Structure 1
């Protein structure tokens, strides 16, 4: 199986933050699952067709918000959707520590083009992705 050592892709718009997710879960316990599926699928669609990565990987996420209203930790909560989307798209086999070595974040503002830019990079000496049956 051919593997890649570094790739970058973008997700248009912003992902659901912790405050929004918590509020949704409190209003209706089943709605939280719906939000998680929706946001995970957004990331998976953006990553669809990307090659499988050698692992372990380091994930760098640049969060471009439309303004500075959301706290950094509220924004970075979306990494759950990013990692789950990478798994769903087949870029990494799992999001456990065996496969994801580090995650780093940067949060900035782009009023005209809010987005999430994800870079996935194999840690030196990474292993091949196992074949899926």
Structure 2
């Protein structure tokens, strides 16, 4: 997200957002449940090739969550519908992102208001 902060070129931001949201949407559609999860725990794990300092707020997963919603995995990406955990770890192999989604049933967690 840092690459877009303070930038005046909104078209670049929109193009990148649309590209990543579409990528996640297509992957999600191939794996979507019969109905979107009303509530879910979403874990986004980033694996970076180095141990450089990174701020979690720059990796909030906005484009990922939008794609999961558009792709029919989760009903909405608001606090009412998801709890979000973001983690990072170094990986000597290629950088990658793993997304784990678990449906939360009504009796597992009180509704957030």
Shorter-chain TM range is 0.7 to 0.9
Q: CA deviation at 1:91?
A: 0.8
Normalized against structure 1, the TM-score is what?
0.67
Q: CA deviation at 1:68?
A: 2.6
Q: CA deviation at 1:19?
A: 1.4
* Cα RMSD (Å): 2.1
Paired position in structure 1 for 2:13: 32
Structure 2: unaligned runs, 5 residues or longer: 108-113
With CA pairs under 8 Å and 6+ residues apart, which has the higher RCO, 1 or 2? 1
Please list, as runs of the form range in 1=range in 2, the aligned pairs for 1:60-99 lying within 5 A after superposition.
60-69=43-52, 71-73=54-56, 75-77=58-60, 79-99=61-81
1:70, 1:27 → 2: CA distance? 26
* Alignment: residue pair count: 105
Paired position in structure 1 for 2:31: 50
| Secondary structure, counterpart of 2:106 in structure 1 | strand
Q: Which has the higher strand share?
A: 1
CA contact (8 A) 1:19 1:74 kept: no
Q: CA deviation at 1:119?
A: 0.7
Normalized against structure 2, the TM-score is what?
0.78
Paired position in structure 2 for 1:124: 105
